[in-house]
């Protein structure tokens, strides 16, 4: 591959991203179902250098079981933080698949995905930094308390990773970061800027506090050109929260905002998908649920997006005039 690219998959409600670089592939989270497996096979990926699982919720790891058990794909290493409280069917299936992959392919397992590891993952020109959880949370872990006595939950321990290309901070993937995690994150990192922000928790409420304060604090610290929500469309999937989108528009008025699938908060009816969509595997494509669908970002010498940002914006203006991202006039995307 001549130039690195980052693919943010439309996995419905969940998260999964794939970094393709000159010397290999890294997967960050795996979504719920088979979209990741479908994408890796369609892209003819047979070797995954590293699979990073931000935390143990099913919508971030369930799809990894298919990949780990695949006859066509070898995963060299898996990084995750332990979670002794998690006993879900999806997490148990993942652990069994991981054991099978270790036996069959010699997959290495690293039970730490925190900023305290002191190293970056590189498969070519791009690097992946783990910016959170930091030492204060990592020394207690899920189920413990931070130094202010607040309980640490799986979302608090969700790993935050940043992908950079030389001096450019390209993308920040925030998993399901909650309010406590954000406070620690901003205290422990001097620079968290990135051109693309994949917003935490699919745009859902980050905790009992004010979602506008949460969104504003994160957005101003990251200062992104593009803000993405990896979310599904359905009766139970009502993300992103309107207050969060409103806060983002105010904090970053020139940023392009997009969702993988069209939120029911934006339109009760899903319009026919526009020509802006890419042909990459996308969980919402068959049912006409996509807004941006699966997103491919060329992070090489130039920053190009598929779908093209201007074309996506025109689709929203024409087909979804009630969309949250159009609440008030914004500058055209960069």
Q: What is the mean pLDDT of the chain?
A: 92
For 108, residues 6+ apart whose C-beta sits below 8 A from its C-beta are: 76, 77, 78, 102
Q: Which residue has the tokens 């030389």?
A: 166
State pLDDT tens for residues 55-87: 999 999 999 999 999 999 999 999 999 888 888
pLDDT over 70 at 48, yes or no: yes
The alpha carbon of residue 270 and the mean position of all alpha carbons in its chain are separated, in whole angstroms, by 23
The CA distance from 123 to 165, in Å, is 11
**pLDDT on residue 234:** 79
The CA distance from 146 to 136, in Å, is 7
**pLDDT on residue 270:** 76
The CA distance from 327 to 198, in Å, is 20
State pLDDT tens for residues 4-39: 999 999 999 999 999 999 999 999 999 998 999 999
Nearest Cα neighbor of 155 from 62, 219, 81, 244 is 81
pLDDT over 70 at 159, yes or no: yes
For 263, residues 6+ apart whose C-beta sits below 8 A from its C-beta are: 229, 231, 233, 237, 238, 239, 240, 291, 324
Give the up-direction half-sphere exposure of residue 220: CA atoms within 13 A in the CB hemisphere.
10
Q: How many CB atoms lie within 10 A of CB 223?
A: 15
The alpha carbon of residue 150 and the mean position of all alpha carbons in its chain are separated, in whole angstroms, by 25
Q: What is the pTM of this model?
A: 0.95
- 3-class DSSP assignment, residue 54: coil
Q: What's the average model confidence in pLDDT over 123-151?
A: 93
Q: What's the average model confidence in pLDDT over 320-328?
A: 89
Q: Which pLDDT band, with edges at 50, 70 and 90, does 95 fall under?
A: very high
- 3-class DSSP assignment, residue 298: strand
The CA distance from 26 to 19, in Å, is 5
**pLDDT on residue 229:** 97
Q: Which residues pair with 48 in a beta bridge?
A: 75
Residues in the chain: 334
**pLDDT on residue 302:** 65
Contact indicator for 172, 195 with CB cutoff of 8 Å: no
pLDDT over 70 at 330, yes or no: no
**pLDDT on residue 274:** 74
pLDDT over 50 at 223, yes or no: yes
Provide CATH code, domain 5-326. Answer: 3.60.15.10
Contact indicator for 71, 130 with CB cutoff of 8 Å: no
**pLDDT on residue 181:** 97
Contact indicator for 283, 39 with CB cutoff of 8 Å: no
The alpha carbon of residue 157 and the mean position of all alpha carbons in its chain are separated, in whole angstroms, by 15
pLDDT over 70 at 1, yes or no: no
- Higher-confidence residue: 14 or 141? 14
State pLDDT tens for residues 228-279: 999 999 766 789 999 999 999 999 999 999 999 999 999 888 777 678 999 9
The CA distance from 162 to 173, in Å, is 6
**pLDDT on residue 333:** 46
Q: Which pLDDT band, with edges at 50, 70 and 90, does 326 fall under?
A: very high
Helix axes 211-222, 179-188, angle to 10 degrees: 30
Contact indicator for 56, 91 with CB cutoff of 8 Å: yes
Q: How many CB atoms lie within 10 A of CB 187?
A: 10
pLDDT over 60 at 132, yes or no: yes
**pLDDT on residue 287:** 86
**pLDDT on residue 33:** 87
**pLDDT on residue 257:** 97
The alpha carbon of residue 4 and the mean position of all alpha carbons in its chain are separated, in whole angstroms, by 17
Which phi-psi region, left, alpha or beta, contains residue 211 (left: φ > 0; alpha: ψ -120 to 50)? alpha
For 71, residues 6+ apart whose C-beta sits below 8 A from its C-beta are: none
Nearest Cα neighbor of 211 from 238, 249, 245, 254 is 245
């Amino acid at each position: 591959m001549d130039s690195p690219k980052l693919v943010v998959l439309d996995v419905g409600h969940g998260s999964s991203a794939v970094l393709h670089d000159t010397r290999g592939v890294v997967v960050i989270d795996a979504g719920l179902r088979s979209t990741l497996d479908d994408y890796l096979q369609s892209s003819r990926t047979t070797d995954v250098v590293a699979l990073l699982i931000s935390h143990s919720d099913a919508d971030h790891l369930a799809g990894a079981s298919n990949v780990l058990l695949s006859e066509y794909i070898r995963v060299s290493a898996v990084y995750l933080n332990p979670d002794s409280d998690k006993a879900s069917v999806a997490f148990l299936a993942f652990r069994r698949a991981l054991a099978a992959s270790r036996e069959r392919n010699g997959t290495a397992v690293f039970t730490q995905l925190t900023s305290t590891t002191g190293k970056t993952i590189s498969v070519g020109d791009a690097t992946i930094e783990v910016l959170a959880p930091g030492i204060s949370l990592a020394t207690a872990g899920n189920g413990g308390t931070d130094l202010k006595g607040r309980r640490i939950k799986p979302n608090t321990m969700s790993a935050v990773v940043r992908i950079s290309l030389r001096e450019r901070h390209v993308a920040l993937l925030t998993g399901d970061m909650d309010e406590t995690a954000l406070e620690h994150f901003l205290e422990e990192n001097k620079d968290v800027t990135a051109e693309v922000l994949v917003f935490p928790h699919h745009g859902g409420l980050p905790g009992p506090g004010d979602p506008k304060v949460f969104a504003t604090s994160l957005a101003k610290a990251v200062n992104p050109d593009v803000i993405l929500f990896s979310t599904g469309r359905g009766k139970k999937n009502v993300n992103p929260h309107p207050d969060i989108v409103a806060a983002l528009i105010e904090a970053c008025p020139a940023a392009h905002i997009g969702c993988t699938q069209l939120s029911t908060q934006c339109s009760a009816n899903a319009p026919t998908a526009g020509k802006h969509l890419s042909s990459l595997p996308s969980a919402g494509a068959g049912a006409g649920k996509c807004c941006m669908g699966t997103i491919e970002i060329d992070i090489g010498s130039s920053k190009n997006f598929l779908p093209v940002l201007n074309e996506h914006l025109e689709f929203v203006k024409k087909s979804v005039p009630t969309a949250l991202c159009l609440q008030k006039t914004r500058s055209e995307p960069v």
